[in-house]
Structure 1
């Protein structure tokens, strides 16, 4: 893996269009001002939010004191035979630790799901060796609170005192910090409150779970420190200026999507982390950059990207990549954070708020608070093990199969639009579902994203409501093989998962976006039937329908 953090713009036309933007950013001294945490860079409307969201620029220094605390706690845990780390966290609280530990090759059980089967799998591990890191910036994240309650009960049932096995990471003054101290949990880490969740990779949220799992988190800070001087330099060689300018220039020409493929970076899962950073930072006010993470440089959507997309290689440059970025993980975190914040300036938006994220949470809460988690949904049709639930009136009479419903749904996509697949399933047992992204992208010609629910709600969910309003949304839900009670709460995990899917679908439909929910009454059989229905679509059916 390359250690020199660099950006290469291989597309000659894009490089030429980006050059004036690089010169302008350098002349305005925005890189130096960003490094110095100047909140005026995004205009008066953003100044209040930016003034409390910029401490991430110097985390390579300010996070150093954490290292000794993490090392001491890890040694203490290992001495007691506690070497299995489970992380309960969502969004910025889980994506960075997952990338860090996967890249380092150390085990970390990540719970960023409400699927009862996936949570049950985490519970089935050896609890005698297990510690749980409960990670939430606000301290009120419903998924994380549910995980904490479930593990507390499981520890007690196994004769283990939960307070000795729970470690908390949160913001100072949050409800979770207060509750954690009152409960007497083993350790409470507080993170810098002036860092937003998606910029928090090098705070306690990223470093504590990864460090306890065994990753060399000191090296991440070293990597970021090594590139910091280059990123704050107000000259044309600054890779963050070049990357931001390329993204801004491409967007100005109509490339509102950024397609990521790993080309041998040595970093595992970086696309999932950068997806949240870009989508939540830029997807608002009807504009933004939609990240599309694909399986590789030959995948549909990358190798055949149209003018509405910019292709980015995470790793060495390859044919088809207009931009490539390389570097060690800590440096890559900082590079993309700088570039995304500066791209926000070029797009004329505030990269630090997320005005549309709460809508889906409120809709889910309303369903949970209602009788039996909301009204029962009547399918428009049933085909084998799949129920078809469309929003709006786009599904015409006479449609009798899943494949026909998919054809009608896909025909609602506008020119230059995108398809978002949202799978509210078990990421471990139902991982084969992800093959649908490649299959649908190839058959439709649409840029196609894939997200596991509800984790994408803390990631691309902001863009879906606040970004370019040209998406169509395919939800996949499934009947759980088992369910789990959430102690002292009036809902189960399956009920919460259902409410999150229906709530988000309702919000999207209220914004006149087409939504198709396919509910698998038998998950195993339904997934096979769904893949067959997708494969039955003609590769060029969308163009034929328009013709």
Structure 2
């Protein structure tokens, strides 16, 4: 796979070369592999105990036989569905594998549930056969509020189902010594996979958090690991960082960001579209702090070159044999217009294993070049704390705190009045995904991009809180935040809690809005009402030239008799 960057100008090329030479001179690659925390910061906090991703592949290779046996036992138990309950690093890697590969013949269907929106929870609940479903409860900390709320719901559902097997239908994936490990033991879970603890969530896709779901999907886990191991060895190259694929990508992203091109825009072959979900968290949560960071742009519609500002750096993942005609035309146009493009070629789907490791290593290198700590997430806790305060208020007052919201069109107009070069718009949607919602959000992103030449991101809440949320608060103050919240009706109770899933989701949305405002981030909240798709389409119409022109026309364009006489 080619690893050379394709920057648009000679100065950028020279800056990348100098940066790679600096990496060689400072022995950054060697020091990374010896786990020298001073590569990033003088203090070892959350660095020395977060570098296990460098070597976890060895442990996973040793566990291959166990994973195969486990997956085969699930098939023999006639499991038809697997529901993964996780957030952030516990869910996004499996979601990419689910969307990219799908289940092998005879393997169960995988559902990744990382939301508290009641409609989303109900959607998965209705889709499965509870008595023949295996639930993966995945949490590094072992106490994530979303995961434990979902566990309570499905534990209750299973025990109300005829023919259930109780705890034998649950599997835990967690770190040693967590509350989830104890819960699994007390409730009689079928298995508990104890992950290597020195791995941060967003670097955990090649550990049990990603490979247990991969095995259940029927993937060739050995092949996936083999590709990752090949990339790991390539990322050990120290004598010439120019030959180190992770170092080249990381240095290029950082140099481009320092030159104003901090919007890392992913363009992929159609089959690889979901890869951006994982990259978003990796880049945003790792680099979005101290007022700087890489802003990942994934899932955006490919547009004409003139639509993009000078803050873009394009990275293309092209899968051999995929439907690439549209992608190739777009890349050719971008290249001709002088936009910088970094090209990565995948021979088959299993090259994703290599890309997972390449991007992990590149992110660590980019963190070094940008001078930030790529393994902590200092601002993520704020929204969690705000959510807890809102829930406490609900408990004491019996309702969510009142917050006036302007009409949707007015709110959007107020937000986009602040549009300016190098800004971006983040759409934060607390609603239930479906093809119509997805299409409406894509249309909204494109309308904003075409009208204002702004980069756009879109994330479903509360998923994004564990993904891009760190960047929103700790990264550069260039984001404009549009929070879209549906009515959460009909709601769904959470067993043994005084609040419902809908209340929890509303509290998370409100808590994050409070956090954004506390960091002086421009943010508005819009109610999607009873028909979310219709409301989003109305926002699209507000930005569409034909709609704007029609609103400016008078009620009738036919002149009155007196006007005709005046003209004569």
Tell me which residue corresponds to 2:285. 280
Tell me which residue corresponds to 2:361. 338
The answer (yes or no) to whether the contact 1:477–1:518 under 8 Å persists in 2 is yes
Would you say how many aligned residue pairs link Structure 1 and Structure 2? 513
Aligned-pair CA distance for 1:27: 2.4
User: Secondary structure of the equivalent of 1:375?
Assistant: coil
For the pair 1:136 / 2:139, whether they are aligned, the reply is yes
User: Secondary structure of the equivalent of 2:482?
Assistant: strand
The change in CA–CA distance for 1:5 and 1:224 in structure 2 (over 3 A counts) is farther
Aligned-pair CA distance for 1:210: 2.0
Equivalent residues in 2 for 1:452-491 (5 A)? 452-491=460-499
Tell me which residue corresponds to 1:259. 265
CA distance in 2, matches of 1:307, 1:537: 27
Tell me which residue corresponds to 1:292. 297
The answer (yes or no) to whether the contact 1:403–1:536 under 8 Å persists in 2 is no
CA distance in 2, matches of 1:255, 1:498: 35
User: Secondary structure of the equivalent of 1:153?
Assistant: helix
2:161 corresponds to which of 138, 158, 162: 158
The answer (yes or no) to whether the contact 1:153–1:487 under 8 Å persists in 2 is yes
What CA deviation, in whole Å up to 9, does each residue of 1:28-83 have, x standing for no partner? 222232233332211313x2321001110122212113322221122112112113
2:197 corresponds to which of 186, 193, 197: 193
Q: RMSD of the alignment, in Å?
A: 2.1
Tell me which residue corresponds to 2:324. none
For the pair 1:145 / 2:164, whether they are aligned, the reply is no
The answer (yes or no) to whether the contact 1:443–1:538 under 8 Å persists in 2 is no
The answer (yes or no) to whether the contact 1:443–1:539 under 8 Å persists in 2 is no
What CA deviation, in whole Å up to 9, does each residue of 1:447-468 have, x standing for no partner? 1111111111111100000000
For the pair 1:326 / 2:329, whether they are aligned, the reply is no
Tell me which residue corresponds to 2:440. 433
Equivalent residues in 2 for 1:12-51 (5 A)? 12-13=9-10, 14-45=12-43, 47-51=44-48
Tell me which residue corresponds to 1:379. 405
The answer (yes or no) to whether the contact 1:454–1:501 under 8 Å persists in 2 is yes
The change in CA–CA distance for 1:100 and 1:182 in structure 2 (over 3 A counts) is same
The answer (yes or no) to whether the contact 1:114–1:494 under 8 Å persists in 2 is yes
CA distance in 1, matches of 2:220, 2:419: 45
Where structure 1 has 5 or more consecutive residues not aligned to the other structure, the ranges are 381-387, 389-401, 541-547
CA distance in 2, matches of 1:284, 1:503: 19
Tell me which residue corresponds to 2:457. 449
The change in CA–CA distance for 1:29 and 1:537 in structure 2 (over 3 A counts) is farther
CA distance in 1, matches of 2:306, 2:175: 42
Tell me which residue corresponds to 2:552. none
The answer (yes or no) to whether the contact 2:411–2:526 under 8 Å persists in 1 is no
What CA deviation, in whole Å up to 9, does each residue of 1:298-338 have, x standing for no partner? 337x7733222211112277332521223410110111111
The answer (yes or no) to whether the contact 1:479–1:523 under 8 Å persists in 2 is no
Equivalent residues in 2 for 1:64-103 (5 A)? 64-103=61-100
Structure 1 segments of 4+ aligned residues over 4 angstroms from their partners: 536-540
Aligned-pair CA distance for 1:480: 2.5
CA distance in 2, matches of 1:303, 1:58: 44
CA distance in 2, matches of 1:424, 1:216: 35
Tell me which residue corresponds to 1:420. 426
Aligned-pair CA distance for 1:10: 4.5
Aligned-pair CA distance for 1:500: 0.6
The answer (yes or no) to whether the contact 1:7–1:326 under 8 Å persists in 2 is no
The change in CA–CA distance for 1:162 and 1:428 in structure 2 (over 3 A counts) is farther
Aligned-pair CA distance for 1:238: 1.1
Where structure 2 has 5 or more consecutive residues not aligned to the other structure, the ranges are 104-108, 320-327, 335-339, 550-568
The answer (yes or no) to whether the contact 1:35–1:58 under 8 Å persists in 2 is no
User: Secondary structure of the equivalent of 1:6?
Assistant: coil
Tell me which residue corresponds to 1:504. 512
The change in CA–CA distance for 1:510 and 1:199 in structure 2 (over 3 A counts) is same
The answer (yes or no) to whether the contact 1:245–1:343 under 8 Å persists in 2 is yes
* TM-score, length basis structure 2: 0.86
The answer (yes or no) to whether the contact 2:288–2:295 under 8 Å persists in 1 is yes
* TM-score, length basis structure 1: 0.89
Aligned-pair CA distance for 1:539: 9.0
The answer (yes or no) to whether the contact 1:93–1:197 under 8 Å persists in 2 is yes
The change in CA–CA distance for 1:65 and 1:303 in structure 2 (over 3 A counts) is farther
The answer (yes or no) to whether the contact 1:444–1:539 under 8 Å persists in 2 is no
What CA deviation, in whole Å up to 9, does each residue of 1:212-266 have, x standing for no partner? 12222222210011122211101121112211221121122122221111146x5
The answer (yes or no) to whether the contact 1:373–1:499 under 8 Å persists in 2 is no
1:118 corresponds to which of 105, 120, 127: 120
User: Secondary structure of the equivalent of 2:46?
Assistant: helix
User: Secondary structure of the equivalent of 2:398?
Assistant: helix
2:173 corresponds to which of 141, 164, 169: 169
The answer (yes or no) to whether the contact 1:10–1:323 under 8 Å persists in 2 is yes
1:182 corresponds to which of 171, 186, 189: 186
The change in CA–CA distance for 1:323 and 1:5 in structure 2 (over 3 A counts) is closer
